[in-house]
Chain A
């Protein structure tokens, strides 16, 4: 079973839910794969503390021009819709950071002057700790495109009873890339106006993807009725409500998991896991 953990808004506790769920499943004897697809800020490792056993660069093909062959016709600049290759004054310039790796320029070149080279955009890494297999992607600073890196993390998914995909926050292409192929999605929210507004966007997104969704309310407290009303309007169930506890916030700030310090949280996550497995 592959569960995507997502949220419209960042900071609602998406990684908290993902890591606590993963740890709970490991403690219940499941083989768990944790895929940290929040490649701009992968933080799962802070809480799960896996030993990273391997790292692999993630590369994308980018054009390389052979000036000896190039006759400056400019066809490459015409086909490129991203300004990654441009012909000025008979010279061809390549801007690798803008390249989407579509391969159009090398194919269109009439004199076969364009080859491809590999450019590193980030690193995918992994490790095993007991029954937990951890995989993460880390986007290089200054890089604009996270979907290829997310695909690279998804490509090294190990066999497991439960795959937890920590998706990037928001509803953009990156979040969609991470959630594609998940059996269900848990949307993590808080009972605040900001989080509720963003939850609605996330509910629209998962509906468009056709993935069944359920909601986890983190830091539950006042103003919860409106979150419930929103979920009812979308016909989506709230499967867990985690209370706002300063002790948990403090533990979390030190990189500790709620299920490791608070028996009540442990029980709630066991129940959440049982619920997810029931639904399978």
Chain B
């Protein structure tokens, strides 16, 4: 089984459009949408929901006013400012609570319980390309790294159970906790970036991250024709950092049109950006099967 993870550093570089096209180009992949903050892949692969489950991200504290003797120790101990309200009406701010359990452990009246925190839902769906594992994090939901780990785990089980060879992951943006959870254990990472200074800046950060974990990394520049000089700089930087260019994708209104139609762009047309994405796919496909990238 091989795991292909597509990430972007900064958001909005067209990562999900690329993943949707890869879904159509790959042979029976298991799809995973790890962009749990802003999961969009389902909008272009038209899933049929099979099952839905709560995601328990962790615990949070809850004060039982019956047992509370109002000593205030919890407020002194909490380092996250999560104990709010005046004496007599102390309660937990669920958005600030880190779930460390220190207040519950030390409460002299044993008046604080740790309760499961539902941070979102995760879904198993079927698409015409293959199964899709996806999720929706609740507003201000935490533990997105844990949710990403869970989604990838389920995808691997499904791939193993159905003897599917490819797990295709739409990764999280940025370089923080969910991205780390998205890329660990990947056979190859494709970074989809754009030829802006911020694209360049973020590319350096995300490639440092994938190299930190020793994962073969490819870089594709989306909308490369907006700034050819930056495109070259990005490709040079990628090469210098130990990643390899995977190709250029042109600015093409067909990409947005496909999104509006709810289709991968390679199903709408074979030309323009769709042709570019198909060529990027061939490099990714090959790199992931041999576990290395070529300069």
Contact = CB atoms under 8 A, between A and B. Distances in A.
A–B direct touch, CB within 8 Å, in complex? yes
Interface of A: 8-12, 15, 40-41, 43, 46, 79, 81-82, 100-104, 107-108, 139, 141-146, 168-176, 192-194, 197-198, 201, 204-205, 207-209, 222-223, 246, 249-250, 252-255
Interface stretch (B149-157, B197-205, B269-277): B197-205
Given A139-B175, A144-B180, A223 B260 contact: yes
A213 B206 CA distance: 31
Contacts of B8: 10
Interface stretch (B21-29, B48-56, B99-107, B126-134): B99-107
B174 A201 contact: no
B69 interface: no
A79 B102 contact: yes
Interface stretch (B84-92, B137-145, B160-168, B279-287): B137-145
A194 B140 contact: no
Bin chain B's interface residue count: 35 or more
A145 B176 CA distance: 7
A197 B227 contact: no
A198 B11 CA distance: 12
B106 to A, nearest CB: 7
B226 A10 contact: no
B113 to A, nearest CB: 14
B197 A255 contact: yes
17 contacts: A9-B40, A10-B11, A12-B12, A15-B198, A41-B202, A102-B79, A141-B205, A141-B212, A175-B37, A193-B44, A197-B43, A198-B40, A205-B140, A209-B95, A246-B226, A253-B197, A254-B227
Given A41-B201, A82-B100, A171-B38, A101 B79 contact: yes
A171 B101 contact: no
Across chains A and B, which 9 residue pairs bring their CB atoms closest together, nearest first? A11-B12, A10-B11, A170-B37, A102-B100, A205-B139, A144-B177, A40-B174, A43-B198, A253-B227
